[in-house]
Structure 1
Amino acid sequence: MTSWIFLCVSALLGGMVNSIAGGGTLLTFPALLWALTGVPQGSVIANATSTVALFPGSVASAWGYRQELARVKGWLLLLLAPSFAGSVLGTILVAKRDPDEFKALVPWLILGATVLFILQPVFGKLVSRKKDSVQSLTIRGKILVVLFQFTIAVYGGYFGAGIGILMLSALSVLGIQDIHDLNALKASLASAINFISVTMFIGFELVNWRLALPMIFSAIVGGYAGARIARKLNRNWVRFIVIGIGLTVSAYYLWRSAM
């Protein structure tokens, strides 16, 4: 019961953080690692369960941008295939490789995702300088953005924290200029990546449903509440809390791996 309460709180806060600033995985994944301590493939199951728990929130975010998405339909069609393919590869890697390999990468993945989260304002400033709407890219540019999206999707299928930040930077640099169009495309592609991961994790029977189900409902409540209070809450404080958690957790697991 104590574990469930702790996990539900982490999912509630994760859903809120995703609505307000992004980075909810940095709350749910470490919580699940703690709850699954000593369980075989615990780190992989924690990753799968965290992805499933937060997936409804990403879908809700994409739905919220459905009007803007109509303006970037062409981009979505171009990038869906590499998103699906990359997510399949990343999910297979985490599900079928030696769990100890993923466990050894956990502190570095959390640290990397935290660094991306820290750099989020830099990407935001880059996007805010842009004007107008989506511009057409050359064939070479389209190939580059497809390859970059495939790489992001592989990482998304493998771990996932920070993929939204990666896409914000890549898509803004390579031609997506309107901030609302950019967020609509980012949210939809993230949902596509997570959908593949969720489906495959379920197929590989890596999801702990006893923990996932209450977390799903908590994350939905948190996402709804976060959207309602986003305009009133100081986003900087939320960012500082998430960054602090990410740095602390990564340092803790780096310390444990060195023992």
Structure 2
Amino acid sequence: MSILDAVLLFLAGFLSGAVNAVAGGGTFITFGAMTLAGLPPIVANATSSVTQFPGYITSTLAYWHDIKHFWRGALLLSLISAFGALSGALILLGLDNPAFRALVPWLLLAATALFAAGPWLKPAPKPEHEAAVGSLVGSLAQFATAVYGGFFGAGMGVMMLATLGLTQSGDYHRLNALKNMLAVVIAAVAILVFVSGGVIAWLQAIIMIPGGALGGYAGVWIARRVPQNAVRGFVIAVGLFLAFYYFDKG
């Protein structure tokens, strides 16, 4: 790895952490940077899961006050999420890089569209109810989301928040807390599969994770000075650039 590649990856980790703190969508940046640095798409995707994982944990801890009221009821969705993530990650490892590369631009376009629609997909607040978990429709929707999360992951948070809002009760903060908790499960299972499959680029991950931590801290400063719509526009532009990059490479 050249010094220029290392600097690019560190800056990508920083930007990823910052945009996640402000608007979400950091996966587009980490995946894109590793792609431009020459990593195969499957390795870039798997390694991106590792770089995003610390952020999932800290987000979950930040919502611990809400989670402790419903975590027992959420165990079923956690189990469903684990099986979904396992399925998605195994599907990914069953593909070779050319086959996955052919899917990437379509996945990126879908994830970018989902991310762009995020503000309109937020659930309406229902403060009078506890967060209920366990309906059949909710379980099936969460399984499908977890399969996607284990397979690719970009846009997973927006997708999960939207499906939870349609299938579960609870106000926005409870649903967001549940989403963060389930994201930890999905990412953890996927990472275990990717590690066992030997598709993690550990050197690149080690470079990007500190950048992500610093970016997450700086995100607070950025959020006070840069409009969220501007950050969202930047992430959407990155997603579209990567999609057309893969279309052109294909």
**What does 1:1-259 align with in structure 2 at a 5 Å threshold?**
1-36=3-38, 42-124=40-122, 127-134=123-130, 136=132, 142-227=135-220, 229-257=222-250
Gaps (5+ residues) in structure 2? none
Aligned-partner residue type, residue 117 of structure 1:
F
Output the aligned Cα RMSD: 1.6
| Deviation readout 1:57-84 (Å, 9 max, x if unpaired) | 1111111110011223244212001100
Rounded to whole Å, the distance in 1 between the matches of 2:68 and 2:203 is 38
Counterpart contact for 1:11–1:54, Cα < 8 Å: no
TM-score, reference length from structure 2: 0.93
Following superposition, the deviation at residue 232 of structure 1 comes to 4.2
Aligned residues with identical type, % of pairs:
38
Runs of 4+ in 1 over 6 A off after TM superposition: none
TM-score, reference length from structure 1: 0.90
| Deviation readout 1:60-111 (Å, 9 max, x if unpaired) | 1111110011223244212001100010111111112222211111111111
Gaps (5+ residues) in structure 1? none
Counterpart contact for 2:125–2:171, Cα < 8 Å: no
Counterpart contact for 1:110–1:246, Cα < 8 Å: yes
Following superposition, the deviation at residue 17 of structure 1 comes to 1.0
